[in-house]
Amino acid sequence: MRPVLRASSAVLPSPSQPPSPSQPLSPPSPSRPSRGVDHNGSVSHDHPSPRSLLSGPDPVLLPADHPDTAARAALEAGSPVRDVVPQEPASSYVWALLAEEALGATRPDPIAAYAYARTGYHRGLDALRRAGWRGQGPVPVDHVPNQGFLRAVLALAEAAEAIGETAESERCRRLLVDSGTTPEAVAALR
C-alpha cells in the first residue's frame, strides 16, 4: 500500500520523470523550499503562498490619471457635462452621466441613453484592458476611477431594457456581478 501525501506539501516530479509506484512524492527540501508570504506580509520559505492559482485574477484598478479623474475635476469646477465630453472623450464617467441624464429626463430618450452608455462601456473596456484586465475578474466599485465604467455598464443595462434588448440588459447586469459588484451598489453611486 502506497503512503498518501497531501499535494500541498509535496513536490511533484518533473514530467520527464514520472513517479514509480515504489517512490512516494517527497516534501520540499532545503534545495527546493516552498515559498510564500507569512502572516506579516514578508516572503517566507516556511508558509505556502496565500494566493491560489484557482482563485482568479487580481482586481483591476484603473490608474489615478485615467480620463475620468480629469472629467470629475472639470465637473466639480462647474463645467457642464456636454462641455467636458470634448475635453475628455475617453472618460467613461461623462458618457455614463449623459446616459443617466437621458434615461431620467422628463421625456426619457432610451435610444440616446443606449448610445451614450455603449460609448462609455467601450471606453471603459479599452482602459481596463490597458490596465491588465482580460475580460474577467474584479473591477472594484469602491475604486473611484473604476466607477465611470461600472456606471456606464449599468446605464447600458437600463437603456437596453428600455428598448427591448432584454438579453443585452441581462448580460450587462451579469457583467456587474462578475466584476464583483451589484447593480444596486453601482446605482448607489448616482
Is 0.85 topped by the overall pTM?
no
Q: How confident is the model at residue 52 (pLDDT cuts 50, 70, 90)?
A: low
How many angstroms separate the CA atoms of 79 and 25, rounded? 67
pLDDT tens by residue, 126-175: 999 999 999 999 999 999 999 999 999 999 999 999 999 999 999 999 99
The residue count for the chain: 190
**4 is a domain residue:** no
Number of domains in the chain: 1
Q: Which residues pair with 29 in a beta bridge?
A: 32
Q: Is the model's pLDDT at 186 over the cut of 80?
A: yes
pLDDT for the residue 21: 42
Q: Over the chain, what is the mean pLDDT?
A: 82
Characterize the bridge pairing of strands 36-37 and 43-44: antiparallel
Round to whole Å and give the CA distance between 170 and 161: 8
Rounded Cα–Cα distance for residues 186 and 190 (Å):
8
Contact between residue 150 and residue 186 where contact means Cβ atoms under 8 Å apart? yes
| Residue 53 pLDDT level (bands cut at 50, 70, 90) | low
In a domain, 82, yes or no: yes
CA distance 125 to 144: 16
2 within some domain: no
Contact 58, 137 (CB under 8 A): yes
Cβ count within 10 A of residue 131: 15
Least confident of 3-12, 120-129, 179-188: 3-12
Please check whether residue 90 lies inside any domain of the structure.
yes
Does residue 20 lie in a domain region? no
Residue 32 counted as domain residue:
no
Give domain status of residue 75, yes or no.
Answer: yes
Cβ contact 34:28 at 8 Å: yes
Q: Is 59 inside any structural domain? A: no
> Residue 101 belongs to what domain range?
67-187
